[in-house]
Structure 1
Amino acid sequence: MKQLITIVAAGALLASCGNPQNTGKVEQQDTQFDAYKEHFVEGLWKTYPGWASSQGYHKYDSVLVIPDAASREKEMAFAITNIDSLRKYDLKRLSDNNQTDYHMIENQLKSAIWGIEEEKSFEWNPSNYNVSERFAEMLNGNYDSLENRLRNIYLRMANIPAYYEAAKANIKNPTVEHTALGAEQNLGGVSVFEKDLVDAVAKSHLDAGEKEKILARAKESVVAIKAYAEWLKKLNNPTPRSFRLGKELYAKKFEFDIQSGYTVDQVYDKALAHKKELHEKMAKIATDLWPKYMGNAAKPADTLQLIRQVIDKISLKHTTPDSFQATIEKQIPVLIDFIKKKDLIYIDPSKPLVVRREPEYMAGVAGASINAPGPYDKNGNTYYNVGGMNGWPKEKAESYLREYNYYTLQILNIHEAIPGHYTQLVYSNQSPSIIKSILGNGAMIEGWAVYTERMMLENGYGADSGSNEASPEMWLMYYKWNLRSTCNMILDYSVHTKEMTKEAAMHLLVDEAFQQQAEAEGKWRRVSVTQVQLCSYFTGYTEIYDLREELKQKMGSNFNLKKFHEKFLSYGSAPVKYIREMMLRDLK
């Protein structure tokens, strides 16, 4: 899994498939494997009904799994049984598509076993336990009548008290950071039951008796959720576990979660080199822009200070707290028009994108995110969640707005929406392989979003009036933004495996990545409650960009950017190393 499968092996497979006798064997294996995948997916949803609901598969909406030892035994049994089933298939006799599915299924199963036996986050991460999001998704859905959804919610709520009792029993020596996050997010999610559910019941056509039963159970649920949050707040834990994962666990989690062709150490080294390259490019632009923004003021001798002063001046151009979400909404059609004009990729106009205030149960980790419908609910809304600044001190809000200034906010929208996450996830749901949709690779997904930022500017997005090239200000802010992905990798790896202190992290983020203090503080909190996910941006971006440049070199004048984008996304949310194999194989 750590090394890219060679083109020589791909050629051998093609030679094998070219034999009529072998072709028949491949077709037979594929037919059998397709049948196995259907069986696997059904078993997956029985084991993880909450995951099923999030993907648009609603057969088990009424089921809330109690996270106790029995459910973990069931997960283990499912994983072990299916690993044995996979061994019955000869990889060489499967199609490209099914070979990738095989690898992704195997990775998921091994990751589940590792999570239970070695990582054991169910013991030290209290924020793992939160029921609010799934119930909110059911309330916001349009896949069934409101009345049927409410009946399933009623049945599902029955296990909420037992769910949180099991959570309390599981927790042993939790981290301080995850304990605080668990309390905060669960209290934030109470509104789903106290307000959203109450409003939905009032709008429904259920009879008075059903309404009364649902509301009574909702009150019981609120009591259980609040009790768990209060239990966390009062938890006596004199020697808490460190939030740092440690080198051994971290390397294994990187292997399972990222599925890169590189080891984590190799990606870390690439990130350090890329940071240096970005600083050199930024220094040149900042030097050129100095007279425009700083007049005759003396230039600092320190290059990083020079860059920082120009960035700080440009960052003063930003929206207001009250207009933050509205500004984002206005920029979406501008991005769509640009992509159509440049013919960069097809954007399906029938797939709705809804910009909304970030729900409270999601708060505290990321300031902007995408919630896309699953492969079973392809026509559902995709939500662009935007963090709010209500109640923030004026200084904190100003710092945040300077971070997401006029230029950076556009790059954020490229990343989160168009042609980033929103576009990629629409294509993913159209993939012929449901495995690639439900087991989507985070590094490919995040890497695509980061790749599109650079791609848009390369094609002239952000140009001044009368120019076909992105402005120096846009490029400077893009490089600053790209430093974020690069430093995400450096930060996450250093914090979890090298004991990086908060002081050193602030130096990296503020002094070397030019982030505002509020943004840097938020990133420190994020790295203290997540592991490895921050690596996905830089790793995926690097692999996608390198693949594009490799194909451009091999194809010469035959290379077409739009075809590359649509071909790349057509494989679904598979690890980039497997997409690379298939695209090079197709080219050959």
Structure 2
Amino acid sequence: MHKPLISASPARSALIPFNKASFAALLLGLSGSFLSPASLAAPVKTPEAQAARDYKAKVAKSEADAAPEASEAQAFDAEVDAFLKAYWQLLPDAAVAAGHYQAAARLPAPTEAERLAQIRFCEQWLARLQALPAKLSLNAGQLGDLALLDNHLQGMRWSLQQFRSDVWDPTGYNVAGGFSDLLNKGEFTPAQRVKLVEQRLRQVPAYYRAALQQIKAPAAPLLQMAIQQNKGGLELFTQDIPALLDSAKLDAASRQRVLKLRDVALQSTQGFIKALEQIDARQTADGSGRSWRIGREAFNEKFRYEIQASVDAPTLFQRALDQKAALHARMSELADGLWPSLFPGEAPPAERLSKIARVINKLSERHVSAEGYFDDIRAQIPALADWVVKHDLLTLDPSKPLQVRETPAFMRGLAGASISAPGPLDPQGVTYYNVDPLDPIGKPEKTESYLREYNHWVLQILSIHEAIPGHYVQLLYSNKSPSKVKALFGNGAMVEGWAVYSERMMMESGWGQVDGKPSPEMGLMYAKWNLRVVCNAILDYSVHVLGMSEAQGLQLLEGEAFQSHTEATEKWHRAQVSSVQLSSYFAGFSEILALRDQLKAAKGDRFNLKAFHEEFLSYGSAPVAMVSRMMQQQAPAKKAPLTPAQTQR
């Protein structure tokens, strides 16, 4: 799982016509090579000379046309820079996450005045950006950037004015993430970090006072997760900040000054936790509190802004149901082939799902030990990287290492594994593969259930998804995108869709084969994992729109998706504390796979898988619909020669 750096969802305006003026830039670039000094001599009256003069005139015209285009491109870039400068000032935590540290010392209190200021910001910049196409001649890439910003601001305004999760979702109130970034990101000396931390510490009490004033009848699962995550963040105050002070070698007076501020901030955080616990106790006693289900209207609107698929939420839901049936049929065939070796002499159950479940349960007995869990994950990373390079699937960057670590306590409670990547403005930052430790799960039977879910085969697929060539690789490419906007305002469906597609890519390349032959065990477990993606979308829509009960949800996850009880209960919890995000996996994967198939059919034997992957990733984290439009504009017909317009991005 990866939460996009800045949640944005552009797509309505992704279907934009290609600006043919960009061809002028191609001619301009060629002019220096084709115009020699001899062309300045007296005209020679030959057909060849006349053709040369005609070409020179065309180039001169293209230069005249391109000059204003170049200045307009600079004007557009200046407007984007102005927007980002204002955006970073408004939202310093988002700035720090992206690798921009000029406002890092600020911690705005989430007051009502702050909310209204953010709404005004959205409205002012929407008007300013929407006026640009009438003023400037924008190319396809710039129009795409504009679409991303427009959708992001519209989604932000809708959330601030109508969705209002600030009132009922207290998980948004936690200072730990910002402090963690200041302690770990950026190229700062310990003394510089201390200065930033000290300034932020002063603002913590006002932050939590304002947060408590905003919260009204919070949804119980979100309230309880906010308590858990804020408790997890306490170690930043008790351990990490003192460790920073040690490394900075402060004088006694300076150290004491910062520790006093730390104590006040710690007490404010503890007071916030206590207040949330009191709200939880009161709501539990009287049955009050908002429902965690967001409902049909909000779900469809949130889906539109965040997913930006080529289909709406109900259509994606129906496609997921159809895909579930197709996967069950495939898994039944694989189970038939495996049954005799796993259960010799025993007839398989007549009921298809029972047969599949028996085979999966038997295979799941093969798993890593709890003690070897982290070591096994660490060992997978170089093996996956080696495979990708040897099979020519993608170009990797060995200068950007990936570090496996335990998920920080303040981040736990949503997914068992995730990626924390540096922003595009922090190119030297470290990427972390976060893995939840097993020991907090508690009872040994829960640990065993978890390990059976992430068995020998599935644990490999998890690392493919999160690390190589999934999230980790996609985010490295995204951060190198020429478009800052496409790198910063990422689309969650594209990000998660790529991670799911990368699993398919690896299976198709032969990962998991035994003695050069497809492994039915890996095939079945990959199908089970892919079924998880499909059922994520089914669960997401069902609980928030159709009112699915917990019993029905667990039946779907355990009975039809073959998940362990521990995994199923954790997924049910995730469906309660999130909305729409679980749909992003299937939405993005489906569209990426469809795009690949379309381009493969169009190009025939010209299609190159590695080139497809790298071009797709070169567009940052833009919505798949937008990337698809751009790539298909460039795709030639099967065996047809490329034209300049098609080679120009």
- Pair in the same fold by TM > 0.5: yes
**Who is 1:75 aligned against?**
118
Residues 1:191 and 2:235 are matched in the alignment: yes
For the residue of structure 1 that corresponds to 2:476, the secondary structure is helix
- Residue type at the aligned position of 2:183: L
1:327-338 paired onto structure 2 within 5 Å: 327-338=376-387
Report Cα offsets for 1:85-115 as digits up to 9, x if no partner. Answer: 1122228931221111101100111111101
CA deviation after TM superposition for structure 1 residue 159, in Å: 1.0
CA deviation after TM superposition for structure 1 residue 205, in Å: 2.4
Residues 1:501 and 2:507 are matched in the alignment: no
CA deviation after TM superposition for structure 1 residue 27, in Å: 3.9
Residues 1:119 and 2:195 are matched in the alignment: no
Residues 1:206 and 2:254 are matched in the alignment: no
**Who is 2:316 aligned against?**
267
For the residue of structure 2 that corresponds to 1:300, the secondary structure is coil
CA deviation after TM superposition for structure 1 residue 22, in Å: 6.6
CA deviation after TM superposition for structure 1 residue 433, in Å: 1.0
**Is the CA contact (8 Å cut-off) linking 2:217 and 2:290 kept in structure 1?**
yes
* Unaligned segments of structure 1, at least 5 residues: none
Report Cα offsets for 1:202-240 as digits up to 9, x if no partner. Answer: 121222222111111111111111111111111133321
Name the CA distance, whole Å, in 2 between partners of 1:123 and 1:201: 36
Name the CA distance, whole Å, in 1 between partners of 2:22 and 2:194: 54
Report Cα offsets for 1:326-362 as digits up to 9, x if no partner. Answer: 1100011110111111011011000010000111001
For the residue of structure 1 that corresponds to 2:290, the secondary structure is coil
**Who is 1:10 aligned against?**
17
Residues 1:405 and 2:455 are matched in the alignment: yes
**Is the CA contact (8 Å cut-off) linking 1:458 and 1:470 kept in structure 2?**
no
Report Cα offsets for 1:114-151 as digits up to 9, x if no partner. Answer: 01110000000111100011111211225211110111
**Who is 2:81 aligned against?**
38
**Is the CA contact (8 Å cut-off) linking 2:11 and 2:626 kept in structure 1?**
no
**Who is 2:276 aligned against?**
232
> Among 364, 384, 394, which residue is 2:444 paired with?
394
**Who is 1:128 aligned against?**
172
**Who is 1:276 aligned against?**
325
- Residue type at the aligned position of 2:607: F
**Is the CA contact (8 Å cut-off) linking 2:11 and 2:151 kept in structure 1?**
no
Q: CA 1:262/1:27 → structure 2, altered by over 3 Å: closer, same or farther?
A: farther
Residues 1:459 and 2:509 are matched in the alignment: yes
> Among 510, 520, 528, which residue is 2:558 paired with?
510
CA deviation after TM superposition for structure 1 residue 297, in Å: 1.3
- Residue type at the aligned position of 2:424: P
1:416-495 paired onto structure 2 within 5 Å: 416-464=466-514, 466-467=515-516, 469-495=517-543
Residues 1:553 and 2:601 are matched in the alignment: yes
Name the CA distance, whole Å, in 2 between partners of 1:294 and 1:106: 58
Report Cα offsets for 1:297-328 as digits up to 9, x if no partner. Answer: 12101101111110111111001122111110
- Residue type at the aligned position of 1:325: F
**Who is 2:201 aligned against?**
157
- Residue type at the aligned position of 1:473: E
Which TM-score applies when normalising by structure 1? 0.96
- Residue type at the aligned position of 1:265: P
* Unaligned segments of structure 2, at least 5 residues: 1-9, 25-60, 637-649
Name the CA distance, whole Å, in 2 between partners of 1:167 and 1:587: 51
**Who is 1:384 aligned against?**
433
**Is the CA contact (8 Å cut-off) linking 1:290 and 1:310 kept in structure 2?**
yes
**Who is 2:57 aligned against?**
none
Name the CA distance, whole Å, in 2 between partners of 1:15 and 1:46: 35
For the residue of structure 2 that corresponds to 1:14, the secondary structure is coil
CA deviation after TM superposition for structure 1 residue 34, in Å: 1.0
CA radius of gyration, larger in: 2
**Is the CA contact (8 Å cut-off) linking 2:309 and 2:625 kept in structure 1?**
yes
Residues matched between the structures, number: 583
Residues 1:363 and 2:373 are matched in the alignment: no
**Is the CA contact (8 Å cut-off) linking 1:352 and 1:380 kept in structure 2?**
no
Which TM-score applies when normalising by structure 2? 0.88
Deviates more, 1:207-216 or 1:286-295: 207-216
For the residue of structure 2 that corresponds to 1:172, the secondary structure is coil
Name the CA distance, whole Å, in 1 between partners of 2:511 and 2:130: 49
> Among 575, 589, 595, which residue is 1:527 paired with?
575
- Provide the aligned C-alpha RMSD in A: 1.6
**Who is 2:127 aligned against?**
84
For the residue of structure 1 that corresponds to 2:372, the secondary structure is helix
CA deviation after TM superposition for structure 1 residue 470, in Å: 3.5
> Among 103, 120, 139, which residue is 2:183 paired with?
139
**Is the CA contact (8 Å cut-off) linking 1:3 and 1:262 kept in structure 2?**
no
For the residue of structure 2 that corresponds to 1:383, the secondary structure is strand
Higher relative contact order (Cα pairs below 8 Å, separated by 6+ residues): 2
Name the CA distance, whole Å, in 2 between partners of 1:94 and 1:305: 58
**Is the CA contact (8 Å cut-off) linking 1:10 and 1:585 kept in structure 2?**
no
Name the CA distance, whole Å, in 2 between partners of 1:544 and 1:479: 18
CA deviation after TM superposition for structure 1 residue 2, in Å: 6.8
Residues 1:180 and 2:224 are matched in the alignment: yes
Deviates more, 1:322-331 or 1:134-143: 134-143
Residue identity over aligned pairs, in percent, reads 40
Report Cα offsets for 1:427-470 as digits up to 9, x if no partner. Answer: 01101111112111111000000000011000100111x21x44
**Who is 2:639 aligned against?**
none
Report Cα offsets for 1:451-491 as digits up to 9, x if no partner. Answer: 00011000100111x21x44111111011000111100000
**Is the CA contact (8 Å cut-off) linking 1:181 and 1:364 kept in structure 2?**
yes
Report Cα offsets for 1:58-94 as digits up to 9, x if no partner. Answer: 1111100100012112211211111011122228931
Name the CA distance, whole Å, in 2 between partners of 1:379 and 1:309: 48
Name the CA distance, whole Å, in 2 between partners of 1:3 and 1:67: 31
- Residue type at the aligned position of 1:189: G
Q: CA 1:443/1:249 → structure 2, altered by over 3 Å: closer, same or farther?
A: same
CA deviation after TM superposition for structure 1 residue 25, in Å: 5.6
**Who is 1:104 aligned against?**
148
1:344-355 paired onto structure 2 within 5 Å: 344-355=393-404
CA deviation after TM superposition for structure 1 residue 28, in Å: 4.2
**Is the CA contact (8 Å cut-off) linking 2:17 and 2:140 kept in structure 1?**
no
**Is the CA contact (8 Å cut-off) linking 1:57 and 1:376 kept in structure 2?**
yes
For the residue of structure 2 that corresponds to 1:354, the secondary structure is strand
